[in-house]
Amino acid sequence: MPGGLAARALRIRESGIVVVLAVFVAVTASVQHRFLNAANIQFVLVDTTVFALLALGETMVVISRNVDLSIGSTLGLSAYLSASLFQGHSGAVVPLVFGAGLGIGLACGLANGVLVAGGRVPSLVVTLATLYIIRGIDILIVGGKEVTAASLPASFLQIPKATVGGVPDVAIAVAVVIGIGAYYLRTFRSGRDLYAIGSSPQAARLVGLPVGRRVFTAFAASGAIAGLAGVLWAAQYGTVNSSAGTGYELQVISAVVVGGVAIFGGSGGVVGAALGALLLATISTALYVLGISPFWDQAIWGFLLLVAITLDQAIGARLTAALRRRRTREPPEGPS
């Protein structure tokens, strides 16, 4: 696939999301003016941070031609177990809770990585199974209990509310993390290897790339990031029960694919995935502000997912045709 054409297509895709987002916000604001008030904008940005983080980990997995369906369950388990530390240990400090969330998510990601990379089991099968296994563990641990905001320290609940110039601190931090993720995937060899693996796993093995190790690392990173996202989710909502994160996998995968990451791997970037997360979070908030049933959320996410996959197929076909034409025009190499 021609690198220049592929990069140009990705930039156009990301720019298209920005245009669609701007038009959608303008139309919604013209119908309901309070959509653009400061509190609502801050809510959208904070809500996006969780999905943008999840999209970062999911992007690494999808680029390698895999999928992680267990991220919502991992988030839910991490949210409850990490937040419950404040109940069982009054002296628990916030960094310790984030470390616990990271560890819980990493354990889930490592389990997925071992089965997919080590056991050569399709990721769709593995993560569909772990989605239910982790959720079942969560339900067994939580039972009928829940963590309430009253049991959490003010310093923890203040994390999503702190702002700099009206922009939530956590949104700034996540934007920096997204930037680091984008730099890693495009600059470091291990990040570029994921693109090569996603383009053709067989070819990647033939040229000696450590396919198993890279895929294992991608799943471990996805799990660890989902664990951190669970802690942020607990800080944002305060009340945590066994339903936390249910159904998030559809929204995250939709955000990733809408953001330009090819569902069959090999292309895309985390910036586009984060923009996709922002678009979907904005749509959800707009539906609420306009008084439209939230049940339309998943229908819209599914529709956008279908549109994005269809668009990816069309772009891939055009890029392949362009590559054939370019090779046809190139003169054969003669003797030197």
109-130 pLDDT per residue, tens: 999 999 999 999 999 999 999 9
At 267 the pLDDT is: 83
The answer to whether the beta carbons of residues 215 and 113 sit under 8 Å apart is yes
Confidence label for 106 from pLDDT (cuts 50, 70 and 90): very high
pTM of the model: 0.87
277-302 pLDDT per residue, tens: 998 888 888 888 888 877 777 788 78
303 pLDDT more than 60? yes
β pairing state of 163-164 and 167-168: antiparallel
3-state secondary structure of 40: helix
First-to-last CA distance in the chain? 28
In terms of CATH architecture, what is 3-325? Orthogonal Bundle (1.10)
The dihedral sign for the CA sequence 62, 122, 264, 1: positive
Least confident of 14-28, 105-119, 139-153, 219-233: 14-28
**Domain regions of the chain by residue span:** 3-325
What percentage of the chain reaches a pLDDT higher than 90?
A: 54
Cross-strand bridge partners of residue 240: 147
6 pLDDT more than 90? no
Rounded to 10 degrees, what is the CA torsion of 108, 149, 163, 166? Answer: 110
